[in-house]
Amino acid sequence: MHYDTRMNNHGLRHDPFKALVSPRPIGWISTISKQGILNLAPYSFFNAVGDRPPMVMFSSAGRKDSLTNIEETGEFVCSFVSNALRDGMNMSSAPVNAGVNEFQLAGLTPAPSVLVKPPRVSESPAALECRLWKIEPLPAPPGKSEPAYWVVFGEVVGVYIDENYLKDGMFDVASAQPLARLGYMDYAVVNQETLFTLNRPRVGEGGDSATLVAGPWDGVYR
């Protein structure tokens, strides 16, 4: 099949786009308003976009509290969503009123950050403390004059890691079991059974050929 996204004439029960771009990490964004009200919300359009300096982005569908708070304060935190925290993450997605503290709603504990004011989720294995770089509106949908999405870019200025998840000098992703967002209402979990490593291709002399080294990663970046 093929369909025109401007017409969205796929004829399916649900739009398949987000199922095709998956899995996606979940940006669990905490912010604080100028009045000191905490906000916590998960975003499925989230990812890292660079590491020198480390930068992340998330996309807000509509002008949600997270976006407003970041515009006002210039700071946010991304907490790692583990499988153990999936119910709390899901509860924090509820579209409640702006004055509601989602940490309390989801039974989660705010923990102080070091370099920014918004707290991290204490129960989370890791968190990224971020300062706003820029906010960009995406093109308006067909027939609309206002954008439906705003993309928030932030520089990661501080990183928290629970040392229980450090193994041989690396973050133990399989032990932390990150939750990934798929399409529809589907999710997936990374664990020891699903995680594997690969070696990058070795480029031959002259740069015209490459070979693959079988087996798990040998610990060398190429």
Residue 212 belongs to some domain of the structure: no
pLDDT in tens, 80-101: 999 999 999 999 999 999 889 9
pLDDT digits (tens, 9 = 90+) for 7-20: 889 999 999 999 99
SS3 65: helix
Answer yes or no: is 156 within a domain. Answer: yes
**CATH code of the domain containing 65:** 2.30.110.10
Indicate whether 210 belongs to any domain: no
Give yes or no for a cis peptide into 23 (omega within 30° of 0). yes
Comparing C-alpha atoms, which of 58, 55, 72 is closest to residue 128?
Answer: 55
Residue 135 is part of which domain span? 17-196
Tens-place pLDDT, residues 19-64: 999 999 999 999 999 999 999 999 999 999 999 999 999 999 999 9
Give a yes or no: residue 219 inside a domain. Answer: no
Residue 216 lies in a domain: no
Is the pLDDT reported for residue 166 higher than 90?
yes
Query: What gap in Å lies between CA 94 and CA 106, rounded to an integer?
Result: 10
d(Cα 35, Cα 218) in Å, to the nearest integer? 51
Total number of domains in the chain: 1
Is residue 68 in some structural domain? yes
Assess if residue 86 is contained within a domain.
Answer: yes
Does residue 136 sit within a domain? yes
Q: Please tell me the distance from the alpha carbon of residue 193 to that of residue 19, in angstroms, as a whole number.
A: 22
Provide the pLDDT for residue 215.
82
The percent of residues above 90 in pLDDT, for the chain, comes to 88
